[in-house]
Amino acid sequence: MKPHTQSDKLFKTIRDIVASAREQAFRQSNSILLQMYWDIGRLIVEDEQQGKSKAQYGKAVLKNLSDKLTLEFGKGFDERNLNNMRAFYLSFPIWYAVRTELSWTHYRILSRIENEQIRNNYLVLAADSGWDTRTLERNIKTQFLGRMIEKPVSGNISPSQFVKDPYIFEFLGLPNPSESTETQLEHALINNLQKFIMELGKGFAFVARQQHIVTDTSDFYIDLVF
């Protein structure tokens, strides 16, 4: 084995070890952070339920708690974030139902959804599809869940869950997508390929453009293959 080849192999092996360790460290620290916020939210809710009205609690206890925690630990414990922790616990009162692969920002977004079933469905979609927070916000805004033919169930994926009706391609910038020509739509999709794949959802990948297909009786091109 040549020296530089052996060196490259050693580098790649160590690189993979470091990357794996960093990923594990991130997941562990994220899980610890989420559990801390969930526990704080639980304690706030339990204290609030001891005969205090919501208005009185918000104006007095939460403000005092925020001042003390900020003085002790610094940033991250202002009233707004304490309210986020409270909402987090109220939205996900069972800790073992929390998907720790999602970030605190994911949960702040999810906690704004009032309907429990819709909120939990977006939780499943975000975790199973690896959505970042920007994608999650966009999909909630465009009612991604409502456009799915079949609603998601964690660990039970079916082909119909990959299909939505209708698809929304507002990012193409076409004046009226329904009246655009096939060629205009094709060019616009290629120019916005990443956003297009994101709108299609989990299970899709771009294969080719103008793919040449030859059969025994014909010769033709497929505009876009996914």
Whether 105 is in a domain gets the answer no
φ, ψ dihedrals at 158, nearest 5°: -125, 155
Q: What is the pLDDT of residues 65-120, one digit of tens each?
A: 988 999 998 888 899 999 999 999 999 999 999 999 999 999 999 999 999 999 99
Whether 194 is in a domain gets the answer yes
Residue 115: predicted pLDDT: 93
User: What's the domain range around 48?
Assistant: 1-92
Last residue of a domain, one of 32, 60, 92: 92
Whether 123 is in a domain gets the answer no
Considering its fold, how many domains does the chain have in total?
2
Percent of the chain past pLDDT 90, that is, above it, reads 25
Whether 214 is in a domain gets the answer yes
Angle, CA of 192, 145 and 36, to the nearest 5°: 100
Residue 41: predicted pLDDT: 93
Let me know whether 1 and 87 are in one domain.
yes
Whether 190 is in a domain gets the answer yes
Last residue of a domain, one of 72, 92, 112: 92
Residue 92: predicted pLDDT: 96
Whether 215 is in a domain gets the answer yes
Whether 16 is in a domain gets the answer yes
Whether 155 is in a domain gets the answer no
134, 106, 101, 105: which is closest to 122 by C-alpha? 106
Task: Give one DSSP letter per residue of 110-129, joined into a string.
Answer: HTT---HHHHHHHHHHHHHH
Pull the structure tokens for residue 64: 């005092």
Last residue of a domain, one of 37, 70, 92: 92
Rounded to two decimals, what is the model's pTM? 0.61
